[in-house]
Structure 1
Amino acid sequence: MKKIIIIFVLVILLITGCSPKGKPNEIVGEKPIVYVSFYPLYFLVDEIGEDNIDLKMIIPNGVDSHDYEPSMKQLKAIEEADIFIYNGAGFENWTEKLVGTIIDEDKTLRASDYVKLIEINGTFDPHIWLNPENMNRVGEKIRDRLISLDKDNRDEYKRNFNELSNRLKALDNEFIDGLKDKEKDTILVSHSAFAYMAERYNFQQVSVAGISPEQEPSPRTIANIIEMVEKENYEYIFLETLANPKTVDIIAEETNLKTLLLNPLEGLTEEEQNNGEDYISIMEKNLINLKKALVE
């Protein structure tokens, strides 16, 4: 009996002695595995973590993020994550099956917890990333979580975040400066994705569809928009990259409106990826088109 106890103690000591030192959440000697739900969060994590992390994205580029349902294989794969970062505010409904079951809540970061949410018709608007200030706040939280997982690369995470933060602040200033002399204060958009951008830069959005582009507008809504366009001096209506343009095309045809692109940045198209576009460059293109509708 004594022999068995001694052997058991020796095994425990051996296991304990071979375990990596540090806090339980700290990754030692290997790259942290980071899963993100969709592109804007991928952009932040990739800029801050660079080659020090193993980064994976659930919602592929080129698909509508609102109604995407991951496969069971994808959900199961998140078990291996050291941290899972998602938007929240109702954007990825599938996370409800995930957090607290497949992955512990303390291994997650919900971006919408760190910004002031805007409510539209009783529903929180999840499109927080369309305000560069919000991206900066979320980026700061991502930096801190990466440091907690991988203290060896603390200085690099800090440096990368500082560089990214400066770029986001410069982008914010470009919008402030570019839209300061607005002739108009309202834009027509295909779906209600731009409340955070509109609040930050002091304009209004009138949307054909609701917060999700899949919410079909009623005939009454379409008629009201056509009537409003005829009364007001609108020249443009905004399309999106990944949404169905059918209703917008009808309104444009009925009212002789020109169409412009306003990208909600939920994912990159194949062409954008091939051209090396990212969050910053696409937001700068959004500003060019906003200036056409509001300033020029």
Structure 2
Amino acid sequence: MLRRLVLAAALAATAAGAQDRPVVATVNYPLAWMAERLGGDGVAVLFPVPAGQDPSFWRPGLSEIAAIQQADVIALNGAAFADWTTRTTLPRSRLVDTSAAFADSYISTQAVTHSHGADGEHSHTGTASYTWLDFDQAARQAEALAAMMQRRIPALSDTVAGNLPQLVDDLEALDADTREALADLRGSTILATHPRYQYFARAYGLDITALEWETGAMPDPDQWQTLAAKKAETGASLLIWEAAPPKEAIAQADELGLRSVVLSPLAGRPESGDFPSIMRDQITALSEAGEG
């Protein structure tokens, strides 16, 4: 109930702040960050997913749907991200699938059903959806979002056109720097606690074997046993966590001979920092951990 009240207040604040500004609604934080960069103070960005919930599987209530439906632009990630969008009536003229241009290079996945705490039981199936972890693809998503904002919000066209080149440059620089930083990790297997990193692995030449652990939770004995077996099988020395686990988990992974690195995909809005600064810090940590 408290989360609903906080979210309702946030929606009201967005509506109040948007009285004289167009609204761009997004399904994840990377797109929200892009919209903020593109529109500046001239746009209100609506990203209604509550803190602590996974935007991949979050389902909006009636008030959130109503607010999203009224937005001038509704930015979807595509690649089966936020599947509630396929079961909700949204104005097609305002929708932009930001990954549609590279849909032919989506990565197929196997179906695995499990639970994520408050997010409930769900299945990773069909298509890998964290497209923006290939930062070149993220730049293409920014371009698609910019084109839609210019079309739907003509008063902001010059602003968006002026801000897009720097946004694309920042993402392409992040892409190039990541390739360089992780070059020494190519050819070695990395373990990950969750299947989020398919596009990241493909883009930067990594071999990432994913487990199915609940984000931020302490693994149970069976999971530790599986991890030990995977380490023995692959020879991996690095373990990527989607979110910071308990300190005891870090210590136990270390006892198995695995160096731990937190690499948040940033699907949800971080408490501080922004997309490129956090990603750079995480990639630096991964690179340094790979050096042993």
Q: TM-score, normalised by structure 1?
A: 0.76
Cα distance in structure 2, aligned partners of 1:192 and 1:292: 22
Q: Identify which of structures 1 and 2 has the higher relative contact order when contacts are C-alpha pairs closer than 8 Å and 6+ apart.
A: 1
Cα distance in structure 2, aligned partners of 1:82 and 1:89: 22
Asked whether the equivalents of residues 38 and 60 of structure 1 are also in contact (C-alpha less than 8 Å), the reply is no
- CA displacement at 1:82 relative to structure 2: 1.4
5+ long unaligned stretches in structure 2: 1-18, 111-124
The aligned amino acid for 1:164 is L
Please, which moves more after superposition, 233-242 or 103-112?
233-242
Cα distance in structure 2, aligned partners of 1:176 and 1:133: 11
Give the aligned partner of residue 175 of structure 2: 172
Asked whether the equivalents of residues 238 and 261 of structure 1 are also in contact (C-alpha less than 8 Å), the reply is yes
Give the aligned partner of residue 146 of structure 2: 143
Q: Secondary structure at the match of 2:99?
A: helix
Residue from 79, 94, 116 that aligns with 1:89: 79
For the pair 1:226 / 2:253, whether they are aligned, the reply is no
Cα distance in structure 2, aligned partners of 1:287 and 1:156: 31
Cα distance in structure 2, aligned partners of 1:288 and 1:154: 36
Residue from 32, 40, 49 that aligns with 1:50: 40
The aligned amino acid for 2:44 is D
Residue pairs, 1:19-168, within 5 angstroms: 31-98=21-88, 101=89, 103-115=90-102, 116-121=105-110, 123-168=126-171
- CA displacement at 1:68 relative to structure 2: 1.6
Cα distance in structure 1, aligned partners of 2:215 and 2:21: 37
The aligned amino acid for 1:92 is A
Asked whether the equivalents of residues 130 and 264 of structure 1 are also in contact (C-alpha less than 8 Å), the reply is yes
* 1:237-287 deviation digits (Å, cap 9, x = unpaired): 121227x669966972662423221111111343xx2xxx11101110221
Residue pairs, 1:208-287, within 5 angstroms: 208-209=211-212, 223-230=225-232, 232-241=234-243, 252=253, 255-270=256-271, 273=272, 277-287=273-283
Asked whether the equivalents of residues 183 and 294 of structure 1 are also in contact (C-alpha less than 8 Å), the reply is no
Cα distance in structure 2, aligned partners of 1:67 and 1:220: 26
Aligned-pair Cα RMSD in Å: 3.0
- CA displacement at 1:170 relative to structure 2: 1.0
- CA displacement at 1:222 relative to structure 2: 5.8
Cα distance in structure 1, aligned partners of 2:251 and 2:106: 32
The aligned amino acid for 2:280 is E
Cα distance in structure 2, aligned partners of 1:151 and 1:106: 14
* 1:185-244 deviation digits (Å, cap 9, x = unpaired): 22111101111111011011111118x969xx99887645412313554333121227x6
The aligned amino acid for 2:107 is I
For the pair 1:292 / 2:291, whether they are aligned, the reply is no
- CA displacement at 1:81 relative to structure 2: 1.1
**What fraction of aligned residue pairs are identical, expressed as a percent?**
25
Distance 1:79 1:179, change over 3 A: closer
Q: TM-score, normalised by structure 2?
A: 0.77
Asked whether the equivalents of residues 235 and 293 of structure 1 are also in contact (C-alpha less than 8 Å), the reply is no
Equivalent pairs counted in the alignment come to: 257
Cα distance in structure 2, aligned partners of 1:255 and 1:230: 10
Distance 1:220 1:158, change over 3 A: same
Asked whether the equivalents of residues 61 and 267 of structure 1 are also in contact (C-alpha less than 8 Å), the reply is yes
Please, which moves more after superposition, 36-45 or 73-82?
73-82
Question: Which of the pair has more CA radius of gyration?
Answer: 1
5+ long unaligned stretches in structure 1: 1-28
Distance 1:179 1:32, change over 3 A: same
Asked whether the equivalents of residues 237 and 248 of structure 1 are also in contact (C-alpha less than 8 Å), the reply is no
Cα distance in structure 2, aligned partners of 1:188 and 1:182: 12
